Amino acid sequence: MEASSLTTTILPASLFIIMLGMGLSLVIDDFKRVLLYPKATIIGLINQLIILPLIAFAMVKLLGLSPMIAVGFMLLAACPGGVTSNLIAHVSNGDTALSITLTAISSFITVITIPLIVSFSLGHFLENSQSIQLPVGKTIMQILAITVIPVSIGMLIRNRFPDFALRMDKPTRIASALIFIIILVSVIATNTELIKDHMGTLGWISFLLIVLTMGLGFFSAKLFHLNLPQQISIAVESGIQNGALAIVIGSTLLQQPELSVPAAIYSLVMFIPAGVMMWYFGRGKRKFTL
């Protein structure tokens, strides 16, 4: 992909706005919950940061995907959850606070893990077939600039001007959803042929990856006797990743359109299992014992 205003400015700026909106919904107490509910947080993070990438790696190896598509899936699996996962957990009657906590913490941790996983994947799958170098230090700084910094700014605004942040909660959520749709449409428009070529294959692979990771997240939480809302949130955070971030990294940082294809297709497919979950667990107003 040639450098353009879309890849160098619009996509990063759009993601910055989305992450700023996430920050407006966060408070320090969201991180304190790690101490209050360590078991749920640890189980969720292990599922999201370790088990998910391992499952993705096993799948792309077993299925023999092309090197660039394989790296694209690993990039997606390395990303944290996002605003969408928090909304899905909330509508599904999950533990919204836990969902937000997992998203916030993983967003900070993946600043380090994304470059490491992607760098490993590039070396493993591409070998000498294509020379793509990922400068780990520079990549960490760039991910910081489009994720951690806007989240931190949003949290600072929330702390200093809580009334303003609360008033902006609904507008920023709507804006984030619209911006995400614009990012997705832009990537589809600029990679139409690639997506057409891969939609049939990658669609069901994305679906299978989501179902497997959500299922493992749910049952691992159940195995450790967490309550149903916590099980739901861990399932969602284990299976629903920040596709917008994967698209921005693939298109902007690495300048490789094919790396964004798995994330684009995944971002379309994820609403099927997510929709089923919201319908099944979100029916009625259950009262859960926390």
SS3 assignment for the chain: CCCCHHHHHHHHHHHHHHHHHHHHCCCHHHHHHHHHCHHHHHHHHHHHHHHHHHHHHHHHHHHCCCHHHHHHHHHHHHCCCCHHHHHHHHHCCCCHHHHHHHHHHHHHHHHHHHHHHHHHHHHHHHCCCCCCCCCHHHHHHHHHHHHHHHHHHHHHHHHHCHHHHHHHHHHHHHHHHHHHHHHHHHHHHHCHHHHHHHHHHHHHHHHHHHHHHHHHHHHHHHHCCCCHHHHHHHHHHHHCCCHHHHHHHHHHHCCCHHHHHHHHHHHHHCHHHHHHHHHHHHCCCCCCCC
Predicted pLDDT at 34: 67
Rounded Cα–Cα distance for residues 48 and 236 (Å): 10
Query: What amino acid occupies position 134?
Result: L
- Which among 92, 107, 109, 113 is positioned nearest to 25, based on CA atoms? 107
Predicted pLDDT at 9: 63
Is there a domain that residue 290 lies in?
A: no
CA atoms within a 13 Å half-sphere pointing along the CA-CB vector of 89:
33
The number of folded domains in the chain is 1
Predicted pLDDT at 133: 64
CA torsion 50-123-126-144 (nearest 10°) is 60
CA atoms within a 13 Å half-sphere pointing along the CA-CB vector of 76:
32
Is there a domain that residue 141 lies in?
A: yes
Q: In this structure, what are the phi and psi dihedrals at residue 96, rounded to the nearest 5 degrees?
A: -60, -40
Predicted pLDDT at 132: 63
Per-residue pLDDT of the chain (290 residues), as tens digits, is 444 455 556 667 777 777 787 778 777 776 676 677 789 999 999 999 999 999 999 999 999 888 889 999 999 999 888 777 877 887 888 887 788 888 888 888 888 888 889 888 888 888 755 556 666 677 777 777 777 788 788 888 988 888 888 888 778 777 776 776 776 677 677 667 767 777 778 889 999 999 999 999 999 999 999 999 999 999 999 988 888 788 878 877 777 778 888 988 888 888 888 888 888 887 754 444 33
Is there a domain that residue 286 lies in?
A: no
Is there a domain that residue 233 lies in?
A: yes
Is there a domain that residue 289 lies in?
A: no
Is there a domain that residue 287 lies in?
A: no
Q: How far apart are the first and last CA of the chain?
A: 49
* Domain with 182 in it: 5-280
Asked whether the beta carbons of 111 and 151 are under 8 A apart, the reply is: no
What distances in angstroms separate CA 192 from CA 39, 72, 154, 257, one per listed residue? 44, 16, 35, 11
Is there a domain that residue 31 lies in?
A: yes
Is there a domain that residue 221 lies in?
A: yes
The CATH code of the domain that includes 143 is 1.20.1530.20
